[in-house]
Amino acid sequence: MTMLSPGSHRLPDLASDGAVLGALVEVEVAWVRTQERLGLVTRAVTDAVSALGATVGRAVDEIARDAEPGGNPVIPVVHALRRAVGATPGASTAVHRGLTSQDVVDTALMILAHRALGAALESLVRAADAAAGHARAHRHTVMSARTLGQPALPTTFGAKAAGWLGALDDAIDELRTVRASLPAQCGGAVGTLSLVEALTPGRALEAAEIFADEVGLVAARPWHTDRSPVTRLGDALTRTADALAKVAGDVILLSRPEIGEVAEPAADGRGGSSTLPHKRNPVLSVLVRAVGIEAPHLAATLHTAAALAADERPDGAWHAEWGALTRLLSRVPVAAAQLADVLCGLEVHNDAMSRNVRAVGPALVAERILQLLPSLPGGEALVPDVRDALRRGGSGDEVRALLAEGLDGRGPEGEALDARVDDLLDPAAYLGVAALLVDQALERHASHRDRAGSVTR
């Protein structure tokens, strides 16, 4: 938990120092198990390292302090493990044999990423299900669409929610794909597995595959200075943050009192102001949006580090990744959980949407009026006056009077003038394919749910 990342208590151990240390120890233990499967050590050695690794995993402050002399925390972890298992013959030698510090750190971070993406996916599925519910329930709820901050044309809240749903489902797809491809790192000192090959002639690549199996990741060629696994992970998290922040931004805008079309779910103590008792701040959406603002800069650090990954071991670029990646792993899943809460309890105010549509008046269907008017009997001559009235923000009564006065009484199909004017001014009659877009989004979401099954950490 961190005080200046409100909400971090929801998932406090995704990439905390304790979680990082635990993953480092987990990697070292997995490597000893790998050696056992290769016939290099006995079960007694594996059991000793597994049992005593837990004690090392609790020494967070000590390991953090001792990380500075070697530039990374693996060196003090290895020293502590070797001391702990020294009484078991062969155990001290087996610890870290054939690995390099980068193998351990990179693999540990991929383990943490696997868990963090699992947590994010659980919340994203919940958020997407809630967005689908809003899209379905408000398929025909007319509201004002806004472009550049101004009322534009009519749409439906269902179509807006369907847009949210599509972005959330895209994020789910991408995180699932990345999660399923997270690689273990196993290259040895310079990425050639030299010592492992010397210890087990002809079996070094098999050792890397066994190791990946032990840590639950994908076997891959060494990627010490090919940082695409890290940038791919960072990009997926950042695009997820983009999608979350877009929805949060919409909620913030639509919940302004002068608009009032939605509101975050109420909860005791949430949304209050330290000095203004009348306020109901959309705090969860604000926090989600903050992650969306922060994430691209973290991803940029990962890309810069990848570009500067020199020789066979980066001299500072690798180190620069750690803070950026762990920040993304900590922040994005929490933002997903916060947005899921927002959407699951979102208050939708249909009456405010109707009020705002009426307030805009005929200007909301100006495009339709000006497009269709010339084709109506007597309509072409009305275009200049009607255009002027719409530009001035003329009232519905003014525009209706112009139309009623200038249009011929009956159209070619014999429909009454009033009916034609009503239809021309009706926002619900100018929604394009909004309903079809809702249906498409819901169909896609349903197929995703059928294919995906459950998400586990």
Query: Of the residues 181, 228, 273, 447, which is catalytic?
Result: 273
Query: Of the residues 313, 387, 444, 449, which is catalytic?
Result: 313
Least Cα distance to 308 among 298, 321, 325 occurs for 321
CB–CB of 362/394 below 8 Å?
yes
In eight-state DSSP terms, residue 313 is: S
Q: Which two tokens stand for residue 319?
A: 């180190």
392-413 exposure pattern, b = at least 16 Cβ within 10 A, e = fewer: eebeeebbbebbeebbeeebee
DSSP letters spanning 206-252: HHHHHHHHHHTSB-----SS--HHHHHHHHHHHHHHHHHHHHHHHHH
d(CA 194, CA 188): 7
d(CA 30, CA 34): 6
Spatial neighbors of 204 by CB under 8 A, at least 6 apart, are 193, 196, 197
d(CA 456, CA 132): 22
The verdict on whether 97 is a catalytic residue reads no
C-beta atoms surrounding 360 within 10 Å: 20
The verdict on whether 136 is a catalytic residue reads no
Direct distance between the N- and C-terminal alpha carbons of the chain, in angstroms, rounded to an integer: 20
| 3-class secondary structure, 70 | coil
Q: Which residues participate in catalysis according to the annotation?
A: 273, 313
